[in-house]
Structure 1
């Protein structure tokens, strides 16, 4: 019987990505490139309800989301 040989880990190779910035007021969040991983999410409210969407964005920010995406 042949000896067991170690198997190399199959880690996915990272692609080099461009860095983008989301800026609002004096706040800047960098995304991609060598930036740290960001906590982001999306709203699931009806965007016809701007008050409900704004409330959900505030709750997500309080919960720790650094970036909230809204689609229409």
Structure 2
């Protein structure tokens, strides 16, 4: 027993599938951007926590050298 689908129904199904896929693609891109943003923020915080004392020490040393000269 074969299923009979006319062209109008097939076009309707294809159009709905296209809409669903495009919406899923947009949402996927949005969530990907959100994930990338949070990873970037976490890395920046980690780098600043690691490097901030060193940078401050270097700034202090260079300002001391400038005042000595």
TM-score range (shorter-chain normalised) is: under 0.3
The structure having more radius of gyration, on CA atoms, is 2
The structure showing larger relative contact order (alpha-carbon pairs under 8 Å, at least 6 residues apart) is: 1
| Greater strand share, structure number | 1
After TM superposition, the score normalised by the length of structure 1 is: 0.23
After TM superposition, the score normalised by the length of structure 2 is: 0.24
| Greater helix share, structure number | 2
